[in-house]
Amino acid sequence: MKQTLEIKLGQKLAMTPQLQQAIRLLQLSVVDLRTEIQSALDNNPMLDTADNNEATSDPAVTDDEEIYNNNEKLRSGKDEPTTNKETDDVFEQGTAGDELKEDYTWDDESYIPRSTRSNNRENDWSGMDVDSRNSSPTTLHDHLEWQMRMLSLSSRDQLITGTIIEAVNGDGYLTLSIEDITQSLDAEPAIELDEVMAMLHQIQNFDPVGVAAVDLADSLQIQLRHLPDDTAYRSTAMTIADKHLDLVAHRDMTKLKRVLKGSPAALSGAITLIQSLNPRPGSIINPSEARYIIPDISVKKINGKWYARLNEDALPKLEVNRYYQSLIKRGDNSTDNRYLKENLQEARWYIKSLQNRHDTLMKVANEIIKRQQDFFEHGDASMKPMVLHDIADALEFHESTIS
């Protein structure tokens, strides 16, 4: 086999780290982007949030005019390439001390200037629930431990009960077996299994009914046992929850009737009773938090036309930290100076990537709005069919960018 050296010419597309960063930021939601920006602020000393007091704006320009002007600028300049010569030449030209021209803003909390605050204490505190502001929501563990403290338990029983409560998840189910809980307890003399079972039964009488159960069948049986004895179909429901819950899950009513040998009315009543129980009893005390969607774009009608508006208030306004930027020295190759230069370049690229994200979102949104003006005016009946290719072709983007 002969070995030879050959030279071949070819083209290869390589994604730079900056391009990869821009693509990644474009894919993030506002909530995820907040976390990403905070992480960048923590890791890069050159990144900083802009001071709202230094923000300059023309008070004569209304919000509608600003939206209109921004959209017109974006449309007129959509074919212009976005470059950052300051970033590219930061080392060669020694322009490390230059200021960035464009930044973005975010107020995470509503801010009330001192000058607008009333001197009247009654007005300041009216409508403010101090207790609700300072109190934290009660968790299921807190609720169970509070009930435990209401009992006169020995220190040994408190240890057992507290360990069991710690093993209960947010839905009210045990995450450890009784055997594992028993083995994890360290006491003298050694705690026996029957002691743990006794405390477990005690907790199963706590509110909400059905907590500290091993599984769904166990939780349903606990809830059924707490119903009055004269509850209709309670006995049949207990049997189903104990032995035949799988048949109910598979809706195998024929086999269930044959096994129980009861009347159709009794079977239907028992199943209805089971369906009225809570399969996640712990969620009553430990409700899941609502997750709110923060839009990137809002749409507003101005002068008879619909325009897109970037939700800038949802994200922080980033800028280069001027103090650290002033510490960079030309011609200094020390470790500290190189560290500052590298972070400055990363900060500039990061801000530029955010700018590209905002521009891309606005261009895509405006193109969609331009094609769907009738939809915003008249509703679903006037919606025009679109595919990714339509928007990508109009904006000269790849379809993956639009999606």
Is pLDDT above 90 for 56? no
Which helix (H) or strand (E) segment holds residue 319: the answer is strand 318-320
* Rounded average pLDDT over 222-248: 92
- What are 383's two structure tokens? 């919606």
Beta carbons of 61 and 393 less than 8 angstroms apart = no
**Lookup result for tokens 């009608």:** 301
> What SS3 class is residue 351?
helix
Mean pLDDT of 328-357: 91
Share of the chain above pLDDT 70, in %: 76
Q: List, as one string, the DSSP characters of 107-162.
A: -SS----GGGS-S-HHHHHTT--HHHHHPPPPPHHHHHHHHHHTS---HHHHHHHH
Q: How far is CA 125 from CA 110, 116, 128, 129, 203, in A?
A: 17, 14, 5, 8, 42
| Structure token digits, residue 330 | 């030309």
Nearest to 284 by CA among 234, 202, 210, 219: 210
* Residue 99 C-alpha from the chain's centroid: 34
Rounded Cα gap, residues 277 and 237, in angstroms: 11
Tell which wins on pLDDT, 56 or 349: 349
- Per DSSP (E only), the strands in 12-99 are 47-49
Across the range 264-273, mean pLDDT stands at 89
Percent of the chain with pLDDT over 90: 40
Q: What pLDDT is attached to residue 223? A: 96
Q: Residue 12 is encoded by which pair of tokens?
A: 């290869």
Q: What is the DSSP string of 290-314?
A: PPPPPPSEEEEEETTEEEEEE-TTB
Tokens of 42: 């923590």
Residues 81/343, Cβ–Cβ less than 8 Å = no
For the ranges 14-18, 129-133, 183-187, the lowest mean pLDDT is seen at 129-133
Q: State yes or no: pLDDT of 82 exceeds 60.
A: no
CA-CA distance, 204 to 61, in Å (whole number)? Answer: 64
pLDDT at 62: 53
Average pLDDT value for residue range 142-152: 92
CA distance 313 to 111: 13
Average pLDDT, the chain: 79
Q: What is the mean pLDDT of residues 329-338?
A: 88
Say how many residues make up the chain: 403
Q: Could you read off the pLDDT of 213-228 as tens digits, one per residue? A: 999 999 999 999 999 9
Q: Is the peptide bond before 208 cis (omega within 30 degrees of 0)?
A: yes
* Long-range contact pairs involving 282-285 (C-beta distance under 8 Å, separation at least 24): 282/140, 282/168, 282/169, 282/170, 282/171, 282/172, 282/173, 282/208, 282/211, 283/170, 283/171, 283/172, 284/208, 285/138, 285/139, 285/140, 285/143, 285/208
Between the alpha carbon of residue 376 and those of residues 189, 293, 373, 382, the distances in Å are: 74, 21, 5, 8
pLDDT of residue 330: 85
Query: Cα(66)–Cα(59) distance, rounded to whole angstroms?
Result: 11
Q: pLDDT of 100-146, one tens digit each?
A: 344 434 343 333 333 333 344 344 434 444 444 444 567 899 999 99
Whether the bond between 81 and the residue before it is cis, its omega within 30 degrees of 0, is no
In the structure, what pLDDT confidence band is assigned to residue 92 with cuts at 50, 70 and 90?
very low
Residue 293: exposure state from Cβ atoms within 10 A (0-12, 13-18, ≥19): exposed
